[in-house]
Structure 1
Amino acid sequence: MNKIEQLRGLIDIIQSTHAEDAAVVLADTERVVAYLPGKTIDLKVPIGAGIENFKGTVSYAALETEQVQREERGPEAFGVPYISSAVPVIEDGRVTGVIASMVSNRRNIRLQEGAQELSSLVQEMTATTEEVTRSGHGAAARLDELAEQSKSMLQQIENSFQILTSVKRIADQSHLLGLNAAIESARAGEYGRGFEVVAKEIRKLGANSVDLVEHIQEQLEDMKQSIVQMNDSVQEVREYARYQAQSMEELGRAYGHIAGTAQELSELS
């Protein structure tokens, strides 16, 4: 029993070895000796058809070149894309026939299309992630500026406290000076009446100045507490913005990995 006859007896087993739907044809150097159609791929090859009818196919090329031939074709012929492979049958150093299979390529095409869609989607998501990351870094930078401005305002308030302390000290001294002047005017009797009026106004001015300084200090203290609270909130938001930006960068790297995998899948399919 020659190889062609052996292969004819095994053609159904050969067909079942393909993971995808496949049609298998076996021919000697003159005619088709066996043919099994697939579920979706059917070339409708009649047994006994002359080999000359297959010029331009991988089967005919394998007979002529005595080498394995392979080509991919779209769904135009049978409604599904498929891959044709033809292997010359060699016996005693010469080609005695060819066995060819037409295997459905639908799954690979779908995988390739899915990988391309996934790659496009990942690119869009990556662009969005990069935009959010830039926004996060920008927000963190603005919050840094706001934090610095808050520190500057706190320093200015501290400076104002120092100035008010000096003003209060002067007011206290003025009040004391007015009190001393009143005592001296009382000693002077009738001659010190005019000076007593001046001393009274000095004491009044000193007392009013002290009250005003204390009131301003209270207002500044409230402002200081508000700025401190605002600065604490800014620090929290800034840390959150930085964390968000870092998370988006990590997400961007993950998207890049997915895009690379999708590209590999597309190339493999």
Structure 2
Amino acid sequence: MSQMLNSLLMVAPILQKAFLLDCMVGVTDREKFLAYYPTKGLNLGIKVGDRLREGSINAMAIAEKRRVVKKIAKEVFGIPYIAVGFPIIEHGQVVGCLATGVTTDQEERLRLLAGELNEAFENIAMHTESLAKEADDLAGASYTLSEAATQMKLKIAETSQISQLIRDISTRSNVLGLNAVLEAARAGSAGRGFSVVAEEIRQLSQTTSTSAKSIFRILDEMNDLVGLVSSEMEKTTAHSLQQSTRIQELDAVMQQLRHMSEQLRKAAVLTDRSE
């Protein structure tokens, strides 16, 4: 047997323990396995004396006289792993192969988790963007309503002025009516007809005065309600703006987390390496 293979067989179990990760180690000649050291998480059931399978990493390294790295899917042996086959060359001839392998089960779980996280962040980001738009729309609507309430208060103030004018006219009409009644009484029978008209004017002024008071009461109540609505709308507008700002800040955080998730997914993917 080759001197290099003999030396390799002696150091193979020590070499396995020297690796940082649990590493499967196999030593072959050109045809069969001379030694096989599995790990707890990666045991392919190989026995000493098993012949090399065609297309295996050992056979490829020997046939092509080069280092071969291959990622093996879980469907092949039930365990995902990455293996390295290194040809042993002595006096210019390939006499065997040193094969090592480490499981990628953890990396696969990490990759799947990263993919799920990325998808979750995509959905959250989409809903966050929608909430941000709705918050902006709500803030705009609140501002419009607040402006409308302010304009309504101004219109009520104008209406109050008109009602005050009506009340003043009513008061003056009532005074004129009373004066007319007195003058008609002094005129005796000649002022009887004018007395009826004067009385009607006085009664109309009293009715107008009563109506003006009712209008003032209603306007005061409306003014109070509009003031309350305006105050609440100002609060709503402020809360809406704060909500919009918070959602935008949340969206920025979600974008950052989504970027981190994507970086995690990329880091979890083991790519094939070969010379």
TM-score for both structures, normalised by structure 2: 0.83
Alpha-carbon distance in 2 for matches of 1:252, 1:229: 34
Structure 1 portions without partners, runs of 5+:
none
Aligned position for 2:37: 36
Aligned position for 1:211: 210
Aligned position for 2:169: 170
Alpha-carbon distance in 1 for matches of 2:18, 2:142: 65
Structure 2 portions without partners, runs of 5+:
269-275
* % same residue: 27
TM-aligned CA deviation for residue 87 of structure 1: 3.0
Correspondence 1:103-142 to 2 at 5 A: 103-142=102-141
Q: What do residues 199-234 of structure 1 show as CA deviations (whole Å, max 9, x unaligned)?
A: 232222222212221221111111110111012112
Alpha-carbon distance in 1 for matches of 2:20, 2:74: 19
Aligned position for 1:184: 183
User: Counterpart of 2:55 in 1: which secondary structure?
Assistant: coil
- Note closer, same or farther for the CA distance 1:67–1:180 as it changes in structure 2 (3 Å cut): same
Aligned position for 1:9: 10
TM-aligned CA deviation for residue 65 of structure 1: 4.1
TM-aligned CA deviation for residue 104 of structure 1: 0.8
User: Counterpart of 1:39 in 2: which secondary structure?
Assistant: coil
Aligned position for 1:26: 27
Aligned position for 2:271: none
Alpha-carbon distance in 2 for matches of 1:2, 1:159: 111
CA contact (8 A) 1:171 1:209 kept: yes
Alignment-mate amino acid for residue 268 of structure 1 = A
Q: What do residues 42-99 of structure 1 show as CA deviations (whole Å, max 9, x unaligned)?
A: 334444566xx35423333334444332111112333211101123446788766432
Alpha-carbon distance in 1 for matches of 2:98, 2:72: 18
Alpha-carbon distance in 1 for matches of 2:75, 2:106: 16
Alpha-carbon distance in 1 for matches of 2:15, 2:117: 35
Residues 1:58 and 2:57 are matched in the alignment: yes
RMSD: 2.8
Alpha-carbon distance in 1 for matches of 2:50, 2:190: 149
Q: Which has the higher contact order (CA 8 A, sep 6+)?
A: 2
Aligned position for 2:233: 234
Alpha-carbon distance in 1 for matches of 2:94, 2:127: 60
Alignment-mate amino acid for residue 62 of structure 1 = A
CA contact (8 A) 1:29 1:97 kept: yes
Alpha-carbon distance in 2 for matches of 1:129, 1:32: 58
Aligned position for 2:194: 195
Which range moved further: 235-244 or 217-226? 235-244
TM-aligned CA deviation for residue 198 of structure 1: 2.3
Which range moved further: 80-89 or 176-185? 176-185
Alpha-carbon distance in 2 for matches of 1:165, 1:143: 33
Alignment-mate amino acid for residue 57 of structure 2 = V
Alpha-carbon distance in 1 for matches of 2:221, 2:92: 103
Alpha-carbon distance in 1 for matches of 2:256, 2:112: 18
TM-score for both structures, normalised by structure 1: 0.84
Residues 1:76 and 2:93 are matched in the alignment: no
User: Counterpart of 2:76 in 1: which secondary structure?
Assistant: coil
User: Counterpart of 2:78 in 1: which secondary structure?
Assistant: coil
Alpha-carbon distance in 2 for matches of 1:240, 1:91: 79
